[in-house]
Copies of this chain bind each other. A is one copy, B any other.
Amino acid sequence: MLSIGALSRQTNVKIPTIRYYEEIGLMDLPGRTTGGQRRYVQSDVDRLGFIRHARDLGLSIAAISDLLRLSANGDNPCADADRIAKEHLTEVKEKIKHLRRLEKELKRIVSHCHAGTVGECYVIESLGNHGLCVEDH
């Protein structure tokens, strides 16, 4: 029987976040002491660990919720789980593409800046003028 603090330490999930997950129904309602404090069992640790890991990988709460439902049902969740993971992978790839374009653009802007020059600032000029951009973004 773990207190919320102990669960927090074991899973690296902050206490208010655990309570939040309970509130939105991602975590089950835990048992309580007579005084009203939460007490957790091993399955709670496992579930929260799953959530934490999936969040670290960037999955949304909605996606995690789906995955948890799938894994509870047991009946060949693989196809659906695979689809969710693949969709997420696609999103991640898109984000990387986008960020790489931004990186390029920012590098270009910054490289043109010669701090010290009065009045003219390529950073500010570039930001104000999309036409100066090399690529779309």
Contacts and interface: CB of A to CB of B under 8 A. Distances in A.
A86 to B, nearest CB: 6
Interface in A70-106: 70-71, 74, 76-79, 81-82, 84-86, 88-89, 92-93, 95-96, 99-100, 102-103, 105-106
A49 B57 CA distance: 35
A43 B113 CA distance: 24
Interface string A104-118: 011101100111111
Interface string A36-57: 0000000000100110011011
Interface of A: 46, 49-50, 53-54, 56-59, 67, 70-71, 74, 76-79, 81-82, 84-86, 88-89, 92-93, 95-96, 99-100, 102-103, 105-107, 109-110, 113-124, 127-130, 137
Contacts of A96: 96, 99-100, 103
B137 A71 contact: no
Q: A interface, by DSSP: helix, strand, loop or mixed?
A: helix
